[in-house]
Structure 1
């Protein structure tokens, strides 16, 4: 396919995704069950004409896994008059960990103590202030990749020396965070259209609890505190559909770790079974949006 205007007309909703995984298939099935036509747009083959306004959709669900493509696609569609869920602004706020932290802090939500070093040397000074052990994370990334535990200054110097040798100025910025002594789990909460669908504990023997990396998910009771924190975090970044990650410290206090604009829900769905149809909730929310 080439220009967007050459696609068949008549469809109101587009789904952007270069990677069709289990969650995307669930979404496709949810549309089919409701008899609602949609267009799947592979962003690897998508291009936009500047000034174009005659798009065949009035709404798009952004499931693009590549952060840069997701943000540019959202901006391009919005400029053409297409409403995008999540918006370009939410995608950018969630897709960069430092921007997420700043937004959450501005909303006065509890987060781990975090700093951004503009150079590797500055990061060492920041880590001295935060204290060890600590974590260093890539500004952009998912599934817990490239998250490194820093036991002490010597370990940090080795990691940051490697980072300094990487190409690209963003690689030289260091997002560092205190290591929360959590009880071997974190909490993933799914929010759709201002409603908390449910929550799961994600457990693992390793530092990273991501289900995609082998972590296990089991149902978690949604307490009033979990609900409020999750709704406030999703609202802060402007995400209509969000996966909010919370962690508990040793005193049981909940902290907001991050907000995912392209939430993966296979583990959540497995833990809750047929009791909560995440894809169905998402599609119903989109249909409501399309009718406004």
Structure 2
């Protein structure tokens, strides 16, 4: 990525995370204007960070850093935000992992899981478009056979991306569809298979069992598949993202996370909670509706944008 592209990305990220950042920085600014950093101030700061959906572990690390460096000294809101950005970056940097679909497996099979409305199908479509632009032969699978709208959405993305779509009538067996799609991809030399799945609420046992069945059936075609199981989380759900991740990890063997809708929420800090709890690779984040608004995750840029600190 060139310097110009980096600046453009940071600008879009800052714009996208503005609501999350403003919620956090306005609270910090209200409390810390040349205030001495004593025990009471640190306690207030910890409460602010927890309220901003960062979670208790990240809040404790951030306040501990400040206590070590600045305790009993006057501190400004800018110093606090800079220190917070460093703490968040340290948390997220080890999990920064762009999605690599250039592995030895052919086809490389990617399962997309998540609840309805998380942006799962749109994320699949944006990745499909990027892959076909790079010359990959991609097959999309409309695996949410419960909803006609979901099948139609995958079909639309297939047209945009210039990729064929494997689909069945509404009510068809989703696992059987996945099996046929993977078998076709092997016969016809596809590079990547992107499988949409029904938007399962983590509390719906029958739907989670269906997800397990899809995984078992795909494994019959290729014992190493699916090679990726990506959990798509909606940035607007805040701390509820943690319970979703927990359920899908158990049911679907999640290998990585993409968080969407960060441009429309004041709860973007929830990604830090998910990172702290599960240590899952973070592949990308969605900061807009456009086809190019799904960006590889950059821990430093995300941390600075969330903390309201300028580009490094």
TM-score tier after normalising by the smaller chain length:
under 0.3
Q: Which has the higher strand share?
A: 1
Q: Which has the higher helix share?
A: 2
Larger radius of gyration: 2
Question: If the length of structure 2 is used for normalisation, what is the TM-score?
Answer: 0.27
Structure with more contact order per residue of length (Cα contacts < 8 Å, sep ≥ 6): 2
